[in-house]
Amino acid sequence: MRTGLDLLLTDLKALVAGKAVGLVVNQTAVDANLVHAIDRFLADPDLNPVRLFGPEHGVRGDAQDMITVEDQRDARSGLPVVSLYGQEEGSLRPTPASLQDLQVLVFDIQDIGSRYYTFIYTMAYCMEAAGQAGIPIVVCDRPNPITGTPREGNVLDMAFRSFVGRYPLPIRHGMTAGELALFFREHCGVLCDLKVVPMEGWSRDQWFDQTGLPWVQPSPNMPTVDTALVYPGMCLIEGTNVSEGRGTTRPFHLIGAPWIDGHALADALNTLALPGVRWRPTAFTPMFQKFQRQQCGGVELHVIDRNHFKPVLSGVALLQALHRLYPDDFRWRTERYEYVSDTLAIDLLGGGQVLRQQVEAQVPLAVIEAFWESELRGFRHLSDHCLLY
């Protein structure tokens, strides 16, 4: 198969040839031979890359989550880099000055299929800024690594918009970045001259490891496709005082805290017989972030059937178990989260207050799923005509 980048630089090069190009990229913008888009553009005499734009984690992907990235000069290419993840929320969008001498903006970053993952909103901000500057934007499409068929979770309440949820998407949205770009333009008021360069040879039921493409981790704590699969549910733990496994070799698979009895938690979760998953009691010591260098009891999530596994339902079940088993220790996170200080992180991640309230009230999982389905029907009705594959 061929990604949008491969197609752009061969069949559709006229979209960028002879133009001053801004590249919105990170380390995932590679071709099938692992050659980076920056190097491909610089090596082609017909192409003129003049500026790079870096999302969260930076152009080369070396910054941890929620770590500010400054404007700089790329060490390898010598090109100036505009950071789209600075100190203030306003830094998330390109400024008019950063676009003034450009004739086209190209976006090529691997998404992972979850509403919380910030790269799709960097894309949306770039679309808005390009539209206001009067220059076209080209989005090079890549696979949804956890397939493009299941959709799961509630749809965002727009009163809770943030950088982990700007538009009415479900938690597992089942779309590619290119399809989301079309959705943002058609249904979310993101006005721009948009060209999506689709992939060739990808089908919606394909996992990333079935494409033959090389996996490049999109962020420091997204090392594998398996991590991407559990992330739509386990990222909810970021909204609590429990470790989501950052600082270990199994982020989002290891969940724990010093006050958790892993055996009790695993027993409570395994009793639910959730599809496609088993929970193993374990202990771990994070090297950074929550409970740095403290031993934590907890569980490791093992996906035994990825085609039936429901990551969001599993994440909600985990939250309910933690809330029920550890009422004296379990807390919702209250610290500033993704530029927001006046709203609980769990409500930003959950796309509103309802998910948190359902956890606190121990609403049966079947009832929660039925609630999601009513919202997903509306999302499917809006989004299906934006699908490219």
How far apart CA 243 and CA 236 sit, in angstroms, is 11
Could you tell me the two tokens for 388?
């490219």
The 3-class secondary structure across 242-297, one letter per residue, is: CECCCCCCCCCCEEEECCCCHHHHHHHHHCCCCCCEEEEEEEECCCCCCCCCCCEE
Could you tell me the two tokens for 336?
């500033």
Which CATH number applies to 225-352? 3.90.1150.140
Considering only CA atoms, which of 239, 117, 251, 111 is closest in space to residue 176? 111
CA 371-306-30 angle, 5° bins? 105
* Beta-sheet pairing, 80-83 with 137-140: unpaired
- Do residues 44 and 21 touch, judged by C-beta distance below 8 A? no
- Kindly tell me the sign of the dihedral angle through the C-alpha atoms of 285, 287, 292, 298: negative
Helical H segments across the chain, by residue range: 4-8, 37-43, 96-99, 119-133, 177-187, 225-234, 262-270, 311-325, 345-349, 354-360, 365-383
Q: What residue ranges do the domains of the chain occupy?
A: 4-220, 225-352
How far apart CA 85 and CA 219 sit, in angstroms, is 14
List, for residues 358-372, the tens digit of each pLDDT value. Answer: 999 999 999 999 999
| CA distance readout (Å), 282 to 100, 228, 259, 267 | 54, 21, 13, 12
How far apart CA 75 and CA 71 sit, in angstroms, is 12
How far apart CA 67 and CA 56 sit, in angstroms, is 8
Q: Which residues of the chain have pLDDT under 50?
A: none
- Kindly tell me the sign of the dihedral angle through the C-alpha atoms of 238, 243, 248, 249: negative
Residues facing residue 67 across a β-bridge: none
How far apart CA 121 and CA 162 sit, in angstroms, is 9
Could you tell me the two tokens for 109?
């970053």
Considering only CA atoms, which of 252, 111, 256 is closest in space to residue 169? 111
* Type of residue found at 273: A
- Do residues 148 and 175 touch, judged by C-beta distance below 8 A? yes
CATH fold match for the domains 4-220 and 225-352: no
| CA distance readout (Å), 173 to 121, 155, 275, 375 | 14, 9, 19, 12
How far apart CA 27 and CA 96 sit, in angstroms, is 25
Residues 6+ apart with CB under 8 A from 389: 148, 176, 198, 199, 202, 203, 204
Residue 66 has a pLDDT of 84
How far apart CA 27 and CA 62 sit, in angstroms, is 9
Could you tell me the two tokens for 178?
């290119």
Could you tell me the two tokens for 245?
């496994």
Q: Tokens 């060490």 label which residue?
A: 75
List, for residues 182-193, the tens digit of each pLDDT value. Answer: 999 999 999 999
Provide the whole-model pTM. 0.97
Options 3.40.50.12170, 3.90.1150.10, 3.20.20.140, 3.40.640.10; CATH of 4-220: 3.40.50.12170
